[in-house]
Amino acid sequence: MNIKKTTFTLVLLVVMMISVNVFAQDANYNLIKKEFTKEQIDLLQKEREVIKANRKAFKKSLTENQLAILRDKTISKTEIRKRLVATFSRDQKNMVQNQQVRLRKTRETFRKTLTREQRKMLKQKIDKMRNTKDRGELKNGPRSSNSKGKKRRN
């Protein structure tokens, strides 16, 4: 009987911890989303759907060799990326490049629709997220800063 209670409590605790993380991310996005106009929300939603469709098409274009590179857990993410990019076909490179261009244009379009108040609110929210202590923590400890020598985009 005692083992059943302990197991139930442990499972309940794990489920609660997982759900808190998922809902916290949604809650942050929904708080920010409340500040946007209907047109801005529609723009973001349409772009999200296009991104999903493009990602799906790109995944379908991957070969078995490329999938094997992605599944390899013995190499770092940067090494996986280097090896994967080296195997891209011309079509795959075009898909990636077109997606990057589309994202830049969408960001620019969205920025043009923002009011001063919205910009201020977004900046405050982003600064708040950047200043939290546990941001970037990984299973193996805190993330090391990688900002040396890199310029930040505006």
- C-alpha–C-alpha distance, residues 88 and 66, integer Å: 8
- pLDDT of 147 strictly over 80: no
Model confidence at 24, pLDDT cuts 50, 70, 90, reads very low
- C-alpha–C-alpha distance, residues 51 and 59, integer Å: 12
- C-alpha–C-alpha distance, residues 143 and 123, integer Å: 23
Contacts of 106 (CB under 8 A, 6+ apart): 43, 47
Model confidence over 84-116: pLDDT tens digits? 999 999 999 999 999 999 999 988 988 888 889
- C-alpha–C-alpha distance, residues 10 and 57, integer Å: 40
Model confidence over 28-71: pLDDT tens digits? 556 566 778 888 888 889 989 999 999 999 999 999 999 998 88
Model confidence at 13, pLDDT cuts 50, 70, 90, reads low
Contacts of 75 (CB under 8 A, 6+ apart): 83
- Among the residues of the chain, which ranges form H helices? 2-33, 38-61, 64-71, 77-86, 90-113, 116-130
Task: Tell me the whole-structure pTM to 2 decimals.
Answer: 0.57
Model confidence at 23, pLDDT cuts 50, 70, 90, reads very low
